[in-house]
Amino acid sequence: MPTEIKIPAVGESITEVTIAKWLKKDGEAVKRDEVIAELESDKATFELPAEADGNLKILVAEGETIGIGTAIAQLDGAGAPASNGQAALAATGGDALTQGEQNPAASDQAGYGGQPADRPDSSPATPGAPAAAPAAPAAATVEMKIPAVGESITEVTVAKWLKPDGAQVSRDEVIAELESDKATFELPAEGSGTLRHAVQEGDTISIGAVIARIEGGSGAPAAAPAASAPAAATSAPAASPAAASGASTYATGVPSPAAGKILGEKGINAAEVNGTGRDGRITKEDAQNAQARPAAPAPAAAPAAKPATSSPQPAAGERGQRRERMSNLRKTVARRLVSVKNETAMLTTFNEVNMQPIMDLRNKFKDKFKEKNGVGLGFMSFFTKAVCVALKEWPAVNAYIDGDSIVYSDFCDISIAVSAPKGLVVPVIRNAEKLSFDGVEKEVVRLAGLARENKLTIEQMTGGTFTITNGGIFGSMMSTPIINAPQSAILGMHNIIQRPVAENGQVVIRPMMYLALSYDHRIIDGRESVSFLVRVKELLEDPTRLLLGV
């Protein structure tokens, strides 16, 4: 019996994940605990290991967003040729898998309500069992219901029917797109036969409701009188070569959901593609490598078209577009930033810092510092230590609003904004006020490395009390950073520019940096915000204060 691989619980607040990447191909043999896929939530990326040995059968395509507990793959026992038939029965409502392991004909009868097999020679004709299995449910109708797609999702909308009413569909062929308030899902067919719509495009229906019915198999004359003759005519040629090879199953020539989508975009019929997956299934790679066959008329038109298209071709190439689905991380960042702008009284105050004292100190001791501590002396440790001192003196900047209360923290968990490959993440330096300069630098290097490798955990990105972001590394001269909710303030660093400034009545050139403090005016008054930023400026322009604690 196939082993189902379901999405495990990966955190209290996470109800759905996206399949970022399949690391193993459909039909490939995998070992227990071998990583087969990468899952992406709105907070972190996770690896999914195989739960047993067997051949992988992918049920959900790359890029799909699905709920916790949903089955995304199956593992069929290695060397078990009947497992495909059993999987087909399991998906179409058959509940006699144990009988099917012993006798394929018995599984046909039990899986479809005990209908007679009408095959007196079914028991000795074992080699023909896979090809004969689809003919058993000739008069059967498979009801397709809306599957559970997430804990908090109770209804979906039929965004688009990809197959018209009355069309012939194959098992696992995508027939519709469903849309919830959180994501869009593809609906694959649960059997082969004639598709009958039960709802219209644009209708909103509940989870578990019937959306369509698949009537009979390809050789069922009574299932659809109007379409029976064409169905039989089109299915007979497809069945004859499969029967001749003696190796056909329900998966032969059927594209996976991802492959079907690619073929549809290319306008290529699945019958024109040779499947290299298990049992002849068309994989995603097959679809990507497939070329449309109607290339014969192209040579005739090519000589006349070449002179006309040779000159405008470069101009056409300059106007390309591409569409990519937003990742869960990007959706969450967008939602949170809009929420902060709408729900807080956010203001920004500015100041500038003369970075010459810090730069002189770094140039004097950076080699000895790295030799002793194994990490470089950067600007982030100075800013983090200065912020921790200022937060102790102005605790409202380190607080946050919880309902009708203000929560003050007597510790400094400093969040550091890091630009990771998949988007902005904000890991937290815990108890930064207790760390030395080298301790802060080591934590910054460690957390930034985890962020760039997409290995940060949820715990490492939650619970900060204040955030520092450095847009200066990208060349930003001035900005108004947005608060990292539920925190009440964020400090923005910017690039260092040599500018003329006045010192002791003289105009001199100094490396200057603009600082920006965005804060929630509901909890932090102007006096506190300006005084906090001035205190940070004093500590940075005279870093010996940090060492002496004055």
For residue 525, indicate whether it is catalytic: yes
Give the integer Cα–Cα distance in Å for 430 and 464.
8
Q: What angle do CA 485, 487, 490 make, to 5 degrees?
A: 100
Domains of the chain: 332-548 (3.30.559.10)
Q: Is 18 helix (H, G, I), strand (E, B) or coil?
A: strand
Give the integer Cα–Cα distance in Å for 496 and 155.
53
Give the integer Cα–Cα distance in Å for 7 and 22.
14
Catalytically annotated residue among 118, 402, 521, 542: 521
Catalytically annotated residue among 181, 520, 525, 542: 525
**Is 128 in contact with 118 (CB distance < 8 Å)?**
no
From first to last of its 550 residues, what are the pLDDT tens digits of the chain? 788 888 888 766 678 888 888 899 888 999 888 889 888 887 677 788 988 888 898 988 888 888 888 888 888 875 333 333 333 333 333 333 333 344 433 334 334 344 444 444 444 444 444 444 444 444 478 888 888 876 667 888 888 899 999 899 988 888 998 877 656 678 998 888 899 999 988 888 888 889 999 987 543 333 333 333 333 333 433 443 343 444 455 557 777 666 777 777 777 877 778 777 766 778 777 777 877 655 444 444 444 444 444 555 555 567 888 888 777 777 877 888 898 888 899 999 999 999 999 999 999 998 999 999 999 999 999 999 999 999 999 999 999 999 899 999 999 999 999 888 777 889 999 999 999 999 999 999 999 889 888 888 888 888 899 999 999 888 899 999 999 989 999 999 999 999 999 999 999 999 999 999 999 999 999 999 999 999 999 999 999 888 777 6
- List, in sequence order, the alpha helices (H) in 453-522: none
Give the integer Cα–Cα distance in Å for 405 and 522.
12
